[in-house]
C-alpha cells in the first residue's frame, strides 16, 4: 500500500493523472525503510452473546483465537483486497483482541511492520476489519444486531512523513 507519500508536497494533490483514473502510485524512487502501523476497532454486542464468547460457549468455537488468525492472514492479503495498495511483504504482524465488559464489546488492535518503500497502515486496518468480521460470524447466531465501529489508525512510523500518533 501507499502511505500517501507519493505526492508532492504533502497536503496537496499532484495532478499527474488529469483524468482522475485510478492507478497504483509510483513509489519506486522512495527508499526501503522500516515502517510500522497500528490500528484499532471494536464490535459491540448484546450481553448474552458477549457472555457466550467469554465463556467459550459459542457453537462455532473459540471466537478470539479464530479472529486473531483471520486478522493475521488478511493482513498478508491486503493488496489483493484493496485495489490500489502496493504489495508489501510484512516482517511482523500482531492482532490482539480483548473483551471490554463494561462497554459490552470486543476491542481489536492490529499491528504491522515492514521494511519497504511504502507504509503499512492498510495492512493494520485490514487485520482489524477482518478480525472483527470474524467475531461477528462466530457470534451472529446469538445477536444479529452487533455493530462494528471505532476503526481507525492509532499510530504509524517510518517513511517521509515520519511518526504519527492519534
Show which residues are catalytic. Answer: 137
Q: Is 73 annotated as a binding residue?
A: no
Nearer to a second copy, 85 or 106 (CB): 85
Residue 53 binds a second copy (CB under 8 A)? no
Non-local (6+) Cβ contacts of 30 within 8 A are 5, 6, 117, 118, 159, 160
Q: Annotation-wise, does 85 bind a ligand?
A: yes
Cα atoms found within 13 Å of the Cα of residue 40, Cβ hemisphere only:
9
Q: Does 59 bind a second copy (CB under 8 A)?
A: yes
Q: Which of 38, 50, 52, 120 binds a second copy (CB under 8 A)?
A: 52
- Residue 103 and residue 77: Cα distance in Å, rounded? 31
Binders of a second copy among 60-119, rule CB under 8 A? 60-62, 65-66, 68-70, 72-74, 76-77, 79-96, 113-117
50 binds a second copy (CB under 8 A): no
Q: How far is the CB of 102 from a second copy (least distance, A)?
A: 19
Site for a second copy in 120-159 (CB under 8 A): 121-122, 125-126, 129-130, 132-134, 136-138, 140-142, 144-153, 156
Phi, psi of 146 (to 5 degrees): -55, 150
CB of 41 to a second copy, least distance (A): 7
Number of residues that bind a second copy (CB under 8 A): 94
Closest CA to 153 of 114, 126, 117: 126
> Is residue 84 marked as binding?
yes
Q: How far apart are CA 161 and CA 158, in angstroms?
A: 7
Give dist(CA 107, CA 9) in Å, integer: 36
Dist CA 124 CA 142 (whole Å): 28
Lookup: cell for 158: 517510518
Does the footprint of a second copy cover residue 3 (CB under 8 A)? yes
Neighbours of 147 (CB within 10 A): 11
**Per-residue contact track with a second copy, 4 to 43, x per CB under 8 A?**
xxxx--xx-xxxxx--xxxxxxxxx-----x------x--
Amino acid at each position: 500500500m501507499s502511505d500517501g507519500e507519493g505526492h508532492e508536497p504533502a497536503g496537496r494533490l499532484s495532478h499527474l493523472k488529469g483524468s482522475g483514473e485510478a492507478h497504483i502510485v509510483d513509489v519506486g524512487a522512495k527508499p526501503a525503510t522500516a515502517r510500522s502501523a497500528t490500528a484499532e476497532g471494536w464490535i459491540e454486542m448484546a450481553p448474552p452473546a458477549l457472555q457466550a464468547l467469554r465463556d467459550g460457549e459459542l457453537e462455532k468455537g473459540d471466537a478470539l483465537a479464530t479472529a486473531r488468525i483471520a486478522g493475521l492472514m488478511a493482513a498478508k492479503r491486503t493488496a489483493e483486497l484493496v485495489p490500489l495498495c502496493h504489495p508489501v511483504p510484512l516482517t511482523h504482524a500482531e492482532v490482539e483482541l480483548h473483551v471490554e465488559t463494561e462497554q459490552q464489546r470486543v476491542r481489536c488492535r492490529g499491528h504491522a511492520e515492514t521494511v519497504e518503500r511504502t507504509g503499512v497502515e492498510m495492512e493494520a486496518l485490514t487485520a482489524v476489519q477482518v478480525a472483527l468480521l470474524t467475531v461477528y460470524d462466530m457470534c451472529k447466531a446469538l445477536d444479529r444486531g452487533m455493530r462494528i465501529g471505532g476503526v481507525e489508525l492509532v499510530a504509524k512510523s517510518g517513511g517521509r512523513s515520519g511518526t504519527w500518533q492519534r
